[in-house]
């Protein structure tokens, strides 16, 4: 095993001496985080004193200031990156369902983001199953003028390999086929309601979209088998230009200052709860990684930027603004790698979009295992969408992060819901995210050579197609290669 590891690091340009040096710094990071991490207490304080962190709201501005002041207090070189976008906030919603216009009864529902500012849809409901293109094609044009009932994930009993599109992509397909409204059925038991954007572009959609609970949704599907069902969806919302700020803490590289590693996570959350899981555990881990770097006075050959993005929930607005700024000032080609922490918890290994990174990541992971055998050194090479890594990946930049962990205290069902509260957070698992990820950031910043470069257009197109991302990117309007 020693010979294998040595050969791995030599082939990646790492000498044994350099590896020993990484191991010593890894131990320092481990000791600092285990003894002095501030991620848990600061997330607790922010959850209690700020609450939700919706971009464009008063709470969102408070969260920006809180993160900025926290990083400044740690001695970080920190700045705001302001941007202006169209924001969205929910106001009122009423969903009435019944077998005739005179027998409608209220059903508990929550508006999906980017629904119209004012909507009043009254129409027959049509069950479109999983809400995929194939579901609409079997309905032979019967969707137009109706309200589409769509299961959020993949219905039990669906054919093996059935795709699971994002709620926004399913809404885009329903709009394409002429639906006048969308009712999404959540997949979580006990009436939990899920919010989130129904827009693939971050702009207002033309039809109202709501989410109802699993039990109500499945009961409605049964009724539709034998009797027509009607729905009346009425809502008011707000949409307008707002100002928001990403927060950027920079550690300048000593040897390659114009090569940059971005370590990011979104600070914003939806407004139904405090967003402790989505994405408090990710963003406050990023803040504490920066604190650890400052406390230990860690130097890296490459520049490290720890970034708290706003507007992720409303369409990756902050990360898109970051990329737009980098393209505008010419610094986009300086970004060598992006690590994203979105609901990352207690990682057991590392993920990346590029298989070529496996020897390095496995090698660093082996050193971490020597410090803590709870780290299993698992590895994944794949790509996905719908978080702040996406704008980086679409520029051909390699992305990655933690891998193999589980959310604390069975908190997955409460994502985007009114149950996303601080009580779900596990302190030690949060520390694990900070320490293992700080080690990864340090190693990426110091390895002599990163064996992946920015993908050109042809390679990026082939890569995205291999990851089966062409269809969702086309729905988002992000596919730049035509058909």
| Cβ-contact 311, 268 below 8 angstroms | yes
Name residues whose C-beta falls within 8 Å of residue 19's C-beta, 6 or more positions apart in sequence. 9, 363, 367
Q: How many CB atoms neighbour CB 82 within 10 A?
A: 13
Q: Which residues of the chain have pLDDT under 70?
A: 1-21
| Domain boundaries along the sequence of the chain | 9-86+241-452, 100-228
Least Cα distance to 313 among 419, 209, 203, 197 occurs for 197
Topology at the third CATH level for domain 9-86+241-452: Aminopeptidase (3.40.630)
CA–CA gap between residue 96 and residue 106 (Å, rounded): 4
CA–CA gap between residue 427 and residue 50 (Å, rounded): 20
Q: What is the pLDDT of residues 234-247, one digit of tens each?
A: 999 999 998 999 99
| Cβ-contact 356, 279 below 8 angstroms | no
Q: Exposed, middle or buried: residue 347 (CB in 10 Å: 0-12, 13-18, 19+)?
A: buried
CATH 1.20.1250.20 describes domain 100-228: no
pLDDT of residue 19: 45
Inter-axis angle of helices 427-446 and 39-49, to 10 degrees?
120
Q: Reduce the DSSP state of residue 54 to 3 states and report it.
A: coil
For the four alpha carbons of 151, 275, 71 and 435, in that order, the dihedral sign comes to negative
Q: Exposed, middle or buried: residue 402 (CB in 10 Å: 0-12, 13-18, 19+)?
A: buried
Longest dimension (CA), the chain: 79
> Residue 390 corresponds to which tokens in the numbers above?
């996406």
pLDDT of residue 477: 92
CA–CA gap between residue 403 and residue 465 (Å, rounded): 23
**DSSP codes of every residue in 392-419:** HHTTT--EEEEES---GGG-GGGTTSTT
Q: What is the pLDDT of residues 203-259, one digit of tens each?
A: 999 999 999 999 999 999 999 999 999 999 999 999 999 899 999 999 999 999 999
Q: What is the torsion angle, in degrees rounded to the nearest 10, for the CA atoms of residue 156, residue 161, residue 167 and residue 168?
A: -160
Strands 349-352 and 399-403: antiparallel
Give the burial string for 254-286 (b: 16+ CB within 10 Å, else e): eebeebbbbbbbbbbbbbbbbbbbbbbbbbbbb
Do 9-86+241-452 and 100-228 have matching folds? no
pLDDT of residue 249: 98
Least Cα distance to 288 among 78, 79, 434 occurs for 434
């Amino acid at each position: 095993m020693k010979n294998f590891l040595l050969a791995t690091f030599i082939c990646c340009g790492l000498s044994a001496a350099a590896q020993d040096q990484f191991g010593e710094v890894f131990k320092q990071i481990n000791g600092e985080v285990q003894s002095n991490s501030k991620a848990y207490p600061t997330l607790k304080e922010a959850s209690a004193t700020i609450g939700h962190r919706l971009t464009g709201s008063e709470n969102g501005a408070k969260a920006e200031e809180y993160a900025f002041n926290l990083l400044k207090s740690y001695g970080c070189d920190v700045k705001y990156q302001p941007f202006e976008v169209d924001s969205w906030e929910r106001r009122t919603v009423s969903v009435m369902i019944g077998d005739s216009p005179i027998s409608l009864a209220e059903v508990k529902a929550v508006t999906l983001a980017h629904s119209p500012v004012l909507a009043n849809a009254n129409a027959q409901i049509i069950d479109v199953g999983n809400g995929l293109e194939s579901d609409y094609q079997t309905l032979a044009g019967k969707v137009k003028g109706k309200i589409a009932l769509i299961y959020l994930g993949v219905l039990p009993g669906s054919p093996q390999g059935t795709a699971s599109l994002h709620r926004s992509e399913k809404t885009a397909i329903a709009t394409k086929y002429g639906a006048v409204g969308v009712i999404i059925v959540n997949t979580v038991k006990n009436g939990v309601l899920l919010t989130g954007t129904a827009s693939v572009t971050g702009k207002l959609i033309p039809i109202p979209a709501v989410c109802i609970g699993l039990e109500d949704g499945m009961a409605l599907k049964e009724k539709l088998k034998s009797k027509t069902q009607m729905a009346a969806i009425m809502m008011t919302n707000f949409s307008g230009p707002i100002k928001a700020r990403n927060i950027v803490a920079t550690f300048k590289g000593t040897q390659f200052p114009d090569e940059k590693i971005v370590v990011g996570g979104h600070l914003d959350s939806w407004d139904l709860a405090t967003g402790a899981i989505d994405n408090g555990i990710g963003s406050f881990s990023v803040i504490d990684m920066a604190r650890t770097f400052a406390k230990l006075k860690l130097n890296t050959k490459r520049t490290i930027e720890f970034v708290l993005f706003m507007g992720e929930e409303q369409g990756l607005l902050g990360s898109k603004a970051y990329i737009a700024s980098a393209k505008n000032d010419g610094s986009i080609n300086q970004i060598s790698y992006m690590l994203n922490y979105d609901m990352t918890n207690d990682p057991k290994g590392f993920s990346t979009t590029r298989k070529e990174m496996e020897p390095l990541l496995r090698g660093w992971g082996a050193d971490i295992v020597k410090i803590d055998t709870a780290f299993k050194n698992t590895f994944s090479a794949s790509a996905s969408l719908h978080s702040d890594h996406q704008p980086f990946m679409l520029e051909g930049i390699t992305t990655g992060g933690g891998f193999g962990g589980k959310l604390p205290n069975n908190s997955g069902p409460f994502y985007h819901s009114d149950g996303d509260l601080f009580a779900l957070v596990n302190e030690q698992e949060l520390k694990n995210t900070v320490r293992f990820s700080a080690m990864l950031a340090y190693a990426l910043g110091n390895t002599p050579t990163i064996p992946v470069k920015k993908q050109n257009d042809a390679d990026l197109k082939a890569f995205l197609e291999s990851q089966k991302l062409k269809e969702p990117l086309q729905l988002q309007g992000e596919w730049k290669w035509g058909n």
